[in-house]
Chain A
């Protein structure tokens, strides 16, 4: 029933590295309708939704740090944004515990929009040139739409990767009782 911190830490570290490598080496190089997907906010939000606010924030921070280091960009920008996303997704789980199948999609889209806006805002505040205009809007909306499409598969993949390190969910156990071929509690009585 307790959280296996060591196993969870290793798994999160692996997810972090794989996400950055996959994003930089593959996803960023494939454009669909002029935009490309951004796995990073999706993974940060998914981890926050699955493991909670504090691990979500730490994971977001580490993911952002690795991303900034790998892309040789201003260190701290991605960390700041992704830690906020991981934390917010975790708090959503802790406070509301949303159960709908569409929740990862909505959270993923919101996380992507927040990341895009956050990056634009911080870039602007740091005095770097931001390509303001329709192209930026198109890029932003296109990425949000594309990420919304892949949000659920990404969430399921992250969840599957972390499942062994998580305490067993009582809801999941109840559901399994119905699907393992046994009689339902109603028929037993």
Chain B
């Protein structure tokens, strides 16, 4: 009995297998007008309306499941877009930062070319620290004596003079800005040639003063003030600053034409937002014009 069952099972299985292979072979070998193809078309024509009806009936269920799938997909897409947005934002910020730095470097290059400062072996540095006081009178830069920077070297940015090096270590330096009261820069009015000393006033970083201008010189607001360079021919009295570096423009003059006339300047450089600067490490011809 048991053997008969096994035999029957094996026979049926073999018959089914053979039938499948036979159908496959015949179907694959016959033309599209063959018997099996015709049967298939007949079954399909019966089945198609059933499928269509079922499809219509099942549409709400399909839509529901599709909605769930779409929601999952949408969530994945949202995460993907959010991370893409973050990447693009970071790139946009980096691009805008690069653009700003580029503009500053371009300004420095223009100033170097126009003022003939390229010969002064400028060392480009980045501001890495700023004095936290309200006067912003010193900044720290990321280059030091290893790059050839020495105490007293003038420091510029793309807009003009910003100060001089006051302390140097191997790989960093502190720059005292022209807004510091201790700094005095020999300067002249670019148009008239009147010479004096630029020093910080008591009012704050924007309040620079041009002192010691002889009363015979008439100074008008808006006049450009530049470094004077070395005025004396005597050795040992050289100025630290090369001539012709822009410092600022005259904003107002109090008591003009008198010995007590007070000339106020505004620095060309924004001393509160310094990023890329240059230190002029070599004096050409004793900074004489």
Interface residues, chain A, with chain B CB atoms under 8 Å away = 21-22, 24-26, 29-33, 53-54, 57-58, 61, 64-66, 68-70, 72, 74-77, 79-80, 83, 87, 126
Assess A33 versus B20: contact at CB under 8 Å? Given A26-B58, A54-B13, A70-B43.
no
Pick 26 A–B contacts, CB within 8 A, sort by A: A21-B47, A21-B51, A26-B55, A30-B62, A32-B65, A33-B69, A33-B73, A57-B13, A58-B16, A65-B23, A69-B39, A69-B47, A72-B44, A74-B24, A74-B28, A76-B21, A76-B22, A76-B23, A79-B16, A79-B19, A79-B20, A79-B23, A80-B17, A80-B20, A80-B21, A83-B20
3 smallest beta-carbon distances between A and B, as pairs: A76-B24, A76-B23, A25-B54
Closest to A36 in B: B69
CB-nearest residue of chain B to A17:
B50
Known: A26-B58, A75-B23. 13 other contacts (CB 8 A): A26-B55, A30-B62, A53-B13, A54-B9, A58-B12, A64-B20, A69-B47, A70-B43, A74-B24, A74-B27, A76-B21, A76-B25, A83-B13
> Size range of the interface on B?
35 or more
Interface presence of B36 (CB below 8 A) = yes
Cβ-defined contact, A57 with B16, below 8 A = yes
- Do most interface residues of chain A lie in helix, strand or loop, or is the interface mixed? helix
A22 touches B54 (CB 8 A): yes
Tell me whether chain B's interface is mostly helix, strand or loop, or mixed: helix
Q: Mark B39-80, 1 if CB is under 8 A from A, else 0.
A: 111011001001110110010011001101100110000000
> Which has the most chain A C-beta neighbours within 10 Å: B22, B39, B43?
B43
Task: Pick the contact of B43: A31, A32, A54, A69 (CB < 8 A).
Answer: A69
**Residues from chain B with Cβ under 8 Å of A22 in the complex:** 54, 58
The answer for the CA separation of A65 and B62 in the assembled complex, in Å, is 25
A31 and B66 alpha carbons, distance in the complex (Å): 7
* A21 partner, pick from B9, B50, B65, beta carbons under 8 A: B50
Question: What's the minimum C-beta distance from B22 to chain A, rounded to whole angstroms?
Answer: 8
Interfacial chain A residues near B47, Cβ < 8 Å: 21, 69-70
Q: Specify which of A24, A25, A29, A68 lies most central, judged by the most chain B CB atoms within 10 Å of its CB.
A: A25
Chain B proximity of A47: nearest CB distance (Å):
14
Asked if B24 contacts A80 (CB within 8 A), the reply is yes
- The answer to whether B40 and A75 touch across the interface, beta carbons within 8 angstroms, is yes
When distances are taken between beta carbons in the complex, the residues of chain A under 8 Å from B61 are 26
Chain B residues with Cβ below 8 Å from A25 are: 51-52, 54-55, 58
B16 touches A61 (CB 8 A): yes
| Cα(A54)–Cα(B11), bound, Å | 10
Q: Chain B 192-227 against A: per-residue CB contact (8 Å), 1 yes, 0 no?
A: 000000000000000000000000000000000000
Q: Looking at the assembled complex, report how far the CB atom of A40 sits from the nearest CB atom of chain B, in whole angstroms.
A: 15
Determine which of A53, A61, A69 lies in contact with B40 in the assembled complex, contact meaning CB atoms within 8 Å.
A69
The reply to whether A61 and B20 contact each other, CB–CB distance below 8 Å, is: yes
Is there an interface contact between B19 and A61, defined as CB atoms closer than 8 Å?
A: yes
Least distance between B53 CB and chain A CB atoms (Å)? 8
Please indicate the chain B residues that have their CB under 8 angstroms from the CB of A54 in the complex: 8-9, 12-13
